[in-house]
Amino acid sequence: MRLLIMGPPGAGKGTQAKSIAEHFDIPAISTGDILRANVADGTPLGLEAQRIMAEGGYVGDDIMNGIVADRLAEDDCAKGFLLDGYPRTLPQVEAVDEILDRAGVELDAVLSLRVDVEELVSRLRKRAESEGRDDDSEQAIRVRQQKYLDETSPLLDVYRDRGLLVEVSGVGDVSEVTERIFQALDRVATAS
Ligand code: B4P
């Protein structure tokens, strides 16, 4: 299975990506995790990304496209993959299209996790208390939600028009949401 998981910040993409990847025996690739690992290691990319992430902005498309192209070229992605948090912009959609075209493969589905904004903000405030992530400050939470609405949510229409969008409610216990996702994606797997 070649999958994308999309949703606003705090929708539970990272939370659900791990279970989905295990279910389909594919690697989960989180661009947020890759960036955070670079920040932790103090790499040049990490130094550049740290400020952008803390403000709630998006790291540049060229950088993100290069990271994803390299990661998808690794052997473990031959059997499929789940991209978590990428693409977030139209140029990133075009880049992933190109990577897949070149490899002669296609996406099977794009999972959209839907959660209302009050619930998202409350989850991120809780995460700020438990994990202390720089980008979970009140100001960054607001910027990230707006950025998602302006730049990322229109991408759902692109994938809806291609007949790839699978929409699932991300509200409820984590295990309930996982079950809902498995049911929806298992239907896609059986049909393909
Ligand atoms: P991400 O790491 O993708 O962060 P996110 O959108 O906040 O997280 P997610 O939706 O995965 O939420 P989670 O499961 O943790 O990106 C971070 C930053 O990296 C971006 O803002 C950007 O700066 C940069 N970046 C990443 N990719 C990029 C790209 N392609 N281009 C440019 N920049 C990029 O869940 C959130 C919280 O909710 C957790 O605490 C979790 O425990 C809780 N939760 C999850 N499911 C729940 C449920 N069902 N009920 C209650 N709580 C739940």
Task: For residues 119 and 47, give the distance between their C-alpha atoms in angstroms, rounded to a whole number.
Answer: 31
Q: Which atom of ligand 1 sits closest to the CA of residue 84?
A: 3
Q: Give 9 Cα–ligand 1 centroid separation in angstroms.
A: 5
- Residue-averaged pLDDT of the chain: 96
Entry pTM: 0.94
Q: Which residues are catalytic?
A: 13, 88, 127, 133, 144
pLDDT at residue 154 is higher than 90:
yes
Which of 15-24, 28-37, 85-94, 129-138 is the least confident region?
129-138
**In degrees rounded to 5, what are phi and psi of residue 125?**
-65, -40
Q: Cβ distance 107 to 4 under 8 Å?
A: yes
Q: Please report, for the domain that includes residue 107, its CATH number.
A: 3.40.50.300
pLDDT digits (tens, 9 = 90+) for 122-145: 999 999 999 988 899 999 999 999
- Nearest Cα residue to atom 39 of ligand 1: 127
Q: Indicate whether 185 belongs to any domain.
A: no
Q: Indicate whether 88 belongs to any domain.
A: yes
Count of beta carbons in the 10 Å neighbourhood of residue 152: 21
Q: Indicate whether 105 belongs to any domain.
A: yes
